[in-house]
């Protein structure tokens, strides 16, 4: 399925609107990007690697992980092979959150209407 930019924005609007109606934390774009990278790309993940991939500083990743850790969506663990490195691990609660968010996106895709205002 190919959608127009306007339809893509409407999909994003529907997804965000449904997402904030849930009894779940409201994550920032950076927090969601970190979470999605941890869950949607092959492990292992490190703070350093996430920062490089996202093009942001390690302290920004650390703040995002602090918030994600507060909700038990991800956790940090010292790398026993390299004590200077911090591994980022998935959690069951984070998996459930993203599965439910994916269901919201899938339901929103089904509601895409023909673009009445192509840009």
Instruction: Please write the tens of the pLDDT for every residue from 89-108.
Output: 999 999 999 999 999 999 98
Task: List, in order of start, the domains of the chain with CATH numbers.
Answer: 5-110 (1.10.10.10)
pLDDT at 69: 97
What 3-state class would DSSP assign to 17?
A: helix
- The Cα–Cα gap between 55 and 62 comes to 14
- Report which DSSP code applies to 42: P
Residues present in the chain in total: 119
- The Cα–Cα gap between 23 and 115 comes to 31
Q: What tens digit of pLDDT does each residue of 54-90 get?
A: 999 999 999 999 999 999 999 999 877 777 788 999 9
């Amino acid at each position: 399925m190919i959608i127009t930019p306007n339809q893509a924005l409407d999909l994003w609007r529907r997804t965000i609107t449904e997402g904030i109606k849930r009894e779940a934390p409201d994550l920032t774009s950076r927090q969601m990007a970190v979470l999605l990278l941890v869950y949607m790309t092959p492990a292992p993940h490190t703070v350093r690697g996430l920062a490089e991939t996202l093009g942001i500083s390690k302290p920004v990743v650390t703040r995002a992980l602090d918030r994600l850790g507060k909700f038990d969506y991800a956790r940090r663990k010292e790398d026993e092979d390299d004590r200077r490195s911090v591994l980022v691990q998935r959690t069951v609660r984070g998996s459930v959150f993203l599965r439910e968010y994916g269901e919201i996106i899938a339901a929103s895709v089904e509601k895409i209407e023909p673009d009445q205002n192509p840009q």
